[in-house]
Amino acid sequence: MISVRLTSPSGELHEVVGRPGSSLMETAVKHGVPGIVAECGGACSCATCHVYVDEEFATQVGGADDWEDEMLEEAVAPRRPTSRLSCQIKLSEELDGLSVTIAPEQE
């Protein structure tokens, strides 16, 4: 199991665990983490699961592909250098302890 820390825009911390291979979005939704709206269900077509990856994990998570990059340009919340869609982050052993902040204004 992979441990993940999601911090809400207001600072509320949610610590959850997920299975390797599942997406961060799936894991957050399964555990009822508020702020991950996921309107498209993980199809990378809505940007309502926008998160800011903590700098410590930015390299391991990697950058967005072209499609995700386009979706992030349309996100309601401001884009940052470590912005990602949580539906596109696949959990793995190297991401154990991953920490992200949920972007505000997801709806």
| Model pLDDT for residues 76-98, shown as the tens digit of each residue | 999 999 999 999 999 999 999 99
pLDDT at 75: 92
Helices (H), the chain: 24-30, 55-61, 66-73
Residue 38 has pLDDT above 70, yes or no: yes
Mean pLDDT of the chain: 95
Mean pLDDT of 35-49: 92
Mean pLDDT of 101-106: 87
Element (H, E) at 77: none
pLDDT at 106: 61
Q: If you search the block for the tokens 């793995």, which residue do you land on?
A: 92
| Model pLDDT for residues 45-70, shown as the tens digit of each residue | 999 999 999 999 999 999 999 999 99
